[in-house]
Amino acid sequence: MVTWIKDPAVAWTGNKNKASRGVLVSEGRILELVEESPQAEFDEIYDASGLVLIPGLINCHHHFYQTLTRALPAALNKELFPWLASLYPVWSNLTEHSVRASTRTAVCELLLSGCTTTVDHHYVFSEALNRAIDVQAEEIQSLGIRAVLTRGSMSLSQENGGLPPSNVVQAEDVILKESQRLIDQWHDRSEGAMLQIALAPCSPFSVTEELMSASAQLALEKKVLLHTHLAETSGENSFCEKLYGCRPLDYLERVGWLSSKVWLAHGIHFSPEEIQRIGSAKTGICHCPSSNMMLASGLCPVQELRAAGAAVGLGVDGSSSNDSSNLMQELRQAYLLQRLRLGAEQFSHIDALELATKEGARLLNREDIGQIREGACADLALFGTDELRFAGAHDLLAALVLSGAHRAQAVMVGGEWRVRNGELVDVDLQEILENQKKAALALI
Ligand SMILES: [Zn+2]
């Protein structure tokens, strides 16, 4: 079956290619970019007139389970460490059922915002949650989004100088054994992979140095990526200096993590010299603007990191510090925040779109997603502009960012429609909302 996504109002490919009359899609791939008329035969037409076509968005950092603790009174108006301390006891009540409900909620919200690839970082493994990543993998497959599920971990409890309480940390041999099992069971190494696994010890203040090193070794052996939080707050710098005798980036290098096979959530508190080291290593940074503003963590030096050679992607972060999983809205937050930091001429709507598309793909070491080009995965998002917020707009691509698009009209992942006419395909949204509500109430 060959589908012609025909005559969008605007097509932004993310590269120099033009597709003013749309694209042909076949067997999960982009077959042809159409400029005048299609060269290949086609079987059906999707009328994209009036819509803005862009590559499907890539979300590089999330904690799906946190959709269950949105706007939680105990966590309001706090910065990172006290915010975490107020939430750990609540998260220790998570069950397989609540992980399933929250995964479905987060993925549906992401899809509706034009996201076609997402990362999740699940790091709370209480006794009842051994199968948390398996549950997520099942739901990811059922909903049809492309994903990198990271096996998070915490092993440094309060008694040993860390931040989390003992009932949410695990023994390191268990963490490593489970990490290995999950890679063997779920990680797809093929081009066009729909599901991959990465290893993600949570942060310098919640895992030991030994676990960081052992995870790097296992990732190297298994050829998977590594992910963690780093340089999110100035408090983390002080913590690292006190516990490890160095700054977070020195610590990262010491445990074998400064490489292009690693991406870091936040990456705010770096010195100019550290930015150069990250760029030379081609380590990825996931910018999470809403979360950084919510927790007053600071401002990520996005353009400096990019100029140094780092891949800088975009993430909504967990929904306890956002508290939304809308990637298109996040793109606008990045646009506004970086302009405030750098000046209006230094960060355009194209820069913001690039973070959420091809830069995110580079961060995830993927060449098959993030751009519209022949042979790439058919991951596409189409946004309508027939709303009051766009009325009178001249440059419709810029308007998606400036006027604040928030819901896609159509979304395709690997050639399959997951959103059509602004609605999820074959998903009972009401059931998802009810389950989520019950699961959230059961946590507190
Ligand atoms: Zn996070």
Q: pLDDT tens-digit profile of 325-353?
A: 999 999 999 999 999 999 999 999 999 99
From ligand 1's centre to the CA of 202, what distance in Å?
A: 8
- 127: confidence class by pLDDT, cuts 50, 70, 90: confident
Question: How many angstroms separate the alpha carbon of residue 347 from the centre of ligand 1?
Answer: 24
Residues 117 and 219 in one domain: yes
Q: Which pair of tokens denotes residue 441?
A: 């109430």
Is the same domain home to 26 and 119? no
In a domain, 433, yes or no: no
Which tens digit of pLDDT belongs to each residue from 14-69?
Answer: 999 999 999 999 999 999 999 999 999 999 999 999 999 999 999 999 999 999 99
If 0-12 CB within 10 Å is exposed, 13-18 middle and 19+ buried, where does residue 345 land? exposed
Q: What is the pLDDT of residue 320?
A: 85
| 437 lies in some domain | no
Q: 320: CA distance to ligand 1 center in Å?
A: 9
pLDDT category at 319 given cuts 50, 70, 90 is confident
Query: Once rounded to an integer, what is the mean pLDDT over residues 144-163?
Result: 95
Same domain, 122 and 21: no
Please list all protein residues whose beta carbon sits less than 5 angstroms from ligand 1, which is an ion. 265, 317
Q: What's the length of the chain?
A: 444
Q: What is the domain range of residue 91?
A: 57-363
β-partners of residue 45 are: 4
CA 340 – ligand 1 centroid, Å:
23
Q: For residue 65, what pLDDT is reported?
A: 97
- Contacts for 198 with CB less than 8 Å, ≥ 6 apart: 119, 148, 149, 150, 151, 219, 224, 225, 226, 227
User: Tokens standing for 242?
Assistant: 């006190």
Whole-number Å distance, alpha carbon 23 to ligand 1 midpoint, is 35
Say how many Å lie between the CA of residue 160 and the centre of ligand 1. 22
Q: What rounded mean pLDDT belongs to the chain?
A: 97
374 CA from centroid of ligand 1 (Å) = 34
Task: State whether 359 and 418 are in the same domain.
Answer: no
Please give the distance, rounded to the nearest whole angstrom, from the Cα atom of residue 439 to the centre of ligand 1: 21
Alpha carbons 45 and 59: distance in angstroms, whole number: 29
**Burial readout 362-398 (b: 16 or more C-beta within 10 A, e: otherwise):** bbbbbebbbbbbeebbbbbbbbbbeeeebeeeeebbb
324 and 382 assigned to the same domain: no
Please give the C-alpha separations between residue 121 and each of 138, 222, 229, 318, in angstroms, as whole numbers: 16, 19, 10, 9
Residues 111 and 233 in one domain: yes
| Residue 386 alpha carbon to ligand 1 centre in Å | 34
Query: Both 32 and 149 in a single domain?
Result: no
Distance 134 CA to ligand 1 centre (A): 20
Total domain count, the chain: 2
CA of 327 to the centre of ligand 1 (A): 15
Same-domain status, 399 and 252: no
Residue 25 and residue 94 in one domain: no
